[in-house]
Amino acid sequence: MTTLCIGSEPSVLAKANILVMPAFAGASGFEVADAELAGKAAHGGQFARHVLRLDPSFEGKVGQLSALLVPASDQPAVLLVGLGAREAFTANTLREALMPVAYFLRKRGQGVIALDGLGAEPASIVRAAAEACLIGGHARMSKSEVVIELLVSGSAGLQRAFEIGMAAGRAVNWVRDLVETPGGDLVPARFAQIVAERARQLGVGVEVWDEAELARQGFGATQAVGRGSANKPCVVCLYPGRKEARLGLAGKGITFDSGGINLKRNAEEIAWMKADMAAAAAVAGAVFAAVELGADPDVTVVLPMAENMPGGHALRPGDVVSHPGGRKTEVVDTDCEGRLVLADAVAHLARSGVKEIIDVGTLTDGGGVGPLLWGCWSTSTSLAAALCDAGEFAGEPGWRLPLRAEYERLIESKVADIANAPLSVPDSGQLAATYLRTFAGDVPWAHIDNGSSAYLDQGFEPWPVGATGSPVRALLQLLLNRAGE
């Protein structure tokens, strides 16, 4: 567990084991950011000479850690962390650089990170540092404890930024822990229980719909997707404020995705399909963090949860399923189940009176944008811009991709209103978005595909293999922006 605090008194160094000092890379060597503090620390600020002697490879590149400089006196040891070129530095650079620092400190129990002299807006620096320390220092199975203090001038006026960073970091780790839970332990009912318990702790209105209620609400696709499993589907609805909310949020909560009758044939892919509920966890995590921060989010949340398994009662290719309002889908591919349950949620939200809808799902590879981004499709330029701007600010960027009505012809059906996948061409994030758009009606809508960013099967620095929490920070920032933060 990481305990984080913020202060501005250099006297804290007397109690520190390790002082972390950021350093910029330059043409003629690195430069410690806080030269004044460097002069008071061990070695009299002569870091370059000592570091180059002990660690000649240290150049100040982003995230690069120097050898630990251990003094002969009772002053703290010094660790330099690279930030790259000063002119290219942003708060997001600091996030990336401090995550490995937090991991390093986790093994040593305590440390102080100096944040003066970085040249960026102090509130964004403090928030980024808090997030990085909580995220980088977190390990689901670790019982070790670490205390980290952020040392920055004017800390009393930066408390709100610190609180936001803490809330964002906790939300990311809550999502990561859920995503890393084995599918056999996090079945739909258990997932719903965890989300509902957290909602009640925060005073958030919550409903959990069982199969009978799913039938009453018209969630035929969610029922059908879960039919092959002994673990029955359900839906969690969250109401942080009034039920007549402006924004509707939906998140795919497939607790394990075998592919169903269209069984996945890639062993590497099916091995991490416990992560197919990452979107529902991220949506819930963002809303809970906003509530913790007092942002009073004006949202209604719908989280369909199911386990997609083959079995005697499983959904078959060729079956037709119904959605709220009576719209029907022909199931061409049972492994395209995420869009089916999201179609239920989007159709329900469109009928509920919300003014905007955002759905999130690990549906495909995120539109080919790679592990650092999530893909976004939208019928509203302003909604897409609000999402992408929030993600960029939060250090969790997305990328808007084109949405073309012409692609609907690829998922036409002769027996239903639409098909969930194409027969004649490969499936894609584009077609998943095209399918979901038809359920939003005239309500401004956006779809986030976090399939490439929510879970990394290979590490991508500074992230290790596994869950990332994406896009919880982007969604939280959107809610904060709308609350006037």
Q: Where in the sequence numbering do the catalytic residues fall? A: 264, 339
Phi, psi of 312 (to 5 degrees): -65, -25
Listed as own residue / partner, the contacts of 320-323 with beta carbons closer than 8 Å and 24 or more positions apart are 320/415, 320/416, 321/220, 321/221, 321/224, 322/218, 322/220, 322/221, 323/218, 323/219, 323/220, 323/221, 323/347, 323/439
DSSP letters of 443-469? S-EEEEE-TTTSEESS-BTTB-SEE--
Q: Among 464, 429, 212, 453, which residue's Cα sits nearest to residue 342? A: 429
Q: Are the CB atoms for 215 and 223 separated by under 8 Å?
A: yes
Q: What is the CA radius of gyration of the chain?
A: 24
Residue 58 contacts by C-beta under 8 Å, 6 or more apart in sequence? 30, 51, 52, 64, 66, 67, 80, 82
DSSP letters of 41-105? SGGGG-HHHHHHHH-TT----TT-BPPPB--SSSSPEEEEEEEEEGGG--HHHHHHHHHHHHHHH
Strands 320-322 and 328-330: antiparallel
Token pair in block for residue 453: 């960013």
DSSP state of 189: H
Place of tokens 């950011």: 33
Identity of residue 379: T
Q: Is 198 helix (H, G, I), strand (E, B) or coil?
A: helix
Strands 110-114 and 146-151: parallel
Measure the N-to-C terminal CA separation of the chain; round to a whole number of Å. Answer: 28
Q: Among 427, 406, 416, 426, which residue's Cα sits nearest to residue 338? A: 427
Strands 328-330 and 356-361: unpaired
Whole-angstrom distance, CA of residue 120 vs CA of residue 114: 14
User: Cβ of 90: how many Cβ atoms within 10 Å?
Assistant: 17
Residue 265 contacts by C-beta under 8 Å, 6 or more apart in sequence? none
Helix runs in 231-363, H state only: 267-270, 278-292, 337-352
